[in-house]
A and B are shown apart, each in its own frame.
Chain A
Amino acid sequence: MALIAKNIGVRVEKKVLLRDVTFDAQPGAVTAIVGPSGAGKSTLLSAVSGDVAYTGSVSLNGQDIKSIRASVLAHHRAVLAQATPLAFPFTVFEIVRLGLQRHTEPKIAAHALQKVGMAGFEGQYYQSLSGGEQQRVQLARVLCQVWQPVEDGVPRWLFLDEPVSSLDIGQQLRVMQTARDFADQGGGVVVVMHDLNLTAMFADRVALVVDGALVVQDSVPKALTAERLTDAYGCDLKVCEAPISGFFTLPQLARVYPSQELL
């Protein structure tokens, strides 16, 4: 019962986006994928979601995803894209309701909206919302799809592609906490992240992808060392531990802030 991707290769026309990436994620944990822009983080998530053609194999809960029908796979995992453009003037509630599976209770849609802090927006047009609000509505829809983190002893999965990219700090923490809760209740979370500090706060394990290849996959303190990050991002990065919370944080500037200001 895990997500196991073996020797994943992805190429679009002649451009190689991923080569020979072997990667896994366990239920009950938040697994982050980090790396510079254009390194192939989202492509890796697309591959394990079954959206792009890939070489190698991906298995979810012990089954090759190519052998699982779309309707069955939808029970096992839900995917949040970076941005979800909408074609017609649907309301917020109509969008969230799309995530409901056949046997789930309709009232879950309202619970999900509450969970992402969007209760009260039900009747509003999706297109009238800000980018951050739209992102949270989509998260609510995705949560509806896998509302129970574990069902019949089988863990369910959330695949999130930069879920906090257009959110303010408070919303970022709330969204990451929602993902954390899902994992703590036994579900699996794979999340593509830009913010290394948030990654350090919420992820159990992290995969660093650079230039289409996996550099390392390990626990956060072991994987994200100053040398690796400096190499990966092409700038001088230092890593230090935040004294009050004990969080492992990575100042993204070359300068190390005095610890009091950090938190």
Chain B
Amino acid sequence: MVAATTDYAPHQNGGRTSGAQKVTAALCVLLLGVSIAGLAVGAADTSLWSGLFAVMQGEDLSLRDEIVLLHIRLPRLLTGLLVGAALASSGALLQGLFRNPLADPGIIGVSAGASFGAVCAIVLGGALPFANFLGAALLPIFAFAGAWGATLLLYGIATRRGRTSVATMLLAGIALSALTMAFTGVLIYMADDAQMRDFTFWNMGALSGANWNKLLIVAPVVLLALGTAQFLANGLNAMALGEDAARHMGVSVQVIKRLAILCVAAATGVSVAISGGIGFVGIVVPHVLRLVSGPDHKHLVLNSALLGACMLVSADVVARVIIAPAELPIGIITAIFGGPFFLWILLRQRGVVDL
């Protein structure tokens, strides 16, 4: 009995703290790898290496290489990283907030809310007096508002006296998705040809529309949300025991909840605004990480962002080359690879740990 008290090394939590740090390090390396792939691979036969070589020799890039590398692939890569990080960490935050591993922006209607906001911006935005002033920021702002509204509404419906009902959450999410999709349908029906074209391009999503202008709007929002999310870790850990228990331990539950909802709405909102709805990142990534390095949000949120970024950029690379020079929508790739992988994890872990 006494011997057990002599050593308080991290092995007592299954060595998971140091494990999580190793995972972070490994993900950083992976991120570097997929980033290089993201720049090197594409339909055009531009070589990243010859480009780099030329620059190192002090020569100028050819105009074609410059356009391909700096104005097409680089913004696309960065957008992919940000969107992947945003969706995966939003998943981790939502799951912590709802205390349920099924919460995912795509499943519970947050993305649908963002889509609805985006369509509102496309169809109704022109009629607004301040539309010109907002310019390119109009769509992300509306998408954010839609995501925020959906999350608030859902949390209000599903949580009663500090307990979140899973069934209510999922059912309300489905109802909310259906409702917002119906409204979206009505708006599309009302739209004129030009708006219709805008909507179609936006809805095809993927990362093909990425450019520096859009990136300038997305990057600060996503980075701010990701930064804020890091401060919510302790609170979310305590909230795993329920809101009352978290409050007893001194957590300002209301503050944590509001910030988490804001972060999720901001990150998901701008992600959807720029890339349409991309499923499966928000649910698969945090799951995998919980299995590998435990549910501690101190590591989970950051590692989710890293793995989400890796996953989305890899998916984008595959989407670009698999039927080149055409492209598959990235959502198809994440679902084709994410779906079976997710099922495999579930089957393997069935009965071992109740996620």
Contact = CB atoms under 8 A, between A and B. Distances in A.
Task: For the complex of A and B, list the 9 residue pairs with the smallest distance between their C-beta atoms, beginning with the closest.
Answer: A74-B250, A88-B295, A87-B99, A122-B12, A71-B250, A93-B13, A79-B248, A123-B14, A87-B240
Interface in B87-128: 96, 99-101
B353 A89 contact: yes
Interface residues of A, number: 42
B182 interface: no
A153 interface: no
Contacts of A125: 353
A75 B253 CA distance: 16
B99 A91 contact: no
B57 interface: no
B73 interface: no
Main secondary structure of the interface of B (DSSP, over half): loop
Interface in B310-355: 353-355
Interface stretch (B1-9, B28-36, B138-146): B1-9
8 contacts: A77-B248, A79-B248, A84-B241, A91-B14, A94-B16, A99-B249, A110-B12, A145-B249
A71 B354 contact: no
A93 B12 contact: yes
Interface residues of B, number: 36
A119 interface: yes
Given A49-B244, A81-B244, A97-B13, 14 more contacts: A51-B244, A74-B249, A79-B245, A88-B290, A90-B240, A91-B16, A93-B13, A94-B237, A94-B296, A110-B4, A110-B5, A110-B8, A119-B5, A120-B4
A87 B245 CA distance: 13
A127 B16 CA distance: 17
Contact of B355 (A81, A89, A91, A106): A89
A123 B13 contact: yes
Interface of A: 49-51, 69-75, 77-79, 81, 84-91, 93-95, 97-99, 101, 106-107, 109-111, 114, 119-120, 122-123, 125, 127, 145
A38 B71 CA distance: 68
Interface centre among B101, B237, B239, B240 (most CB of A within 10 A): B240
A89 B354 contact: yes
Given A71-B252, A79-B248, A110-B5, A98 B241 contact: yes
B242 interface: yes
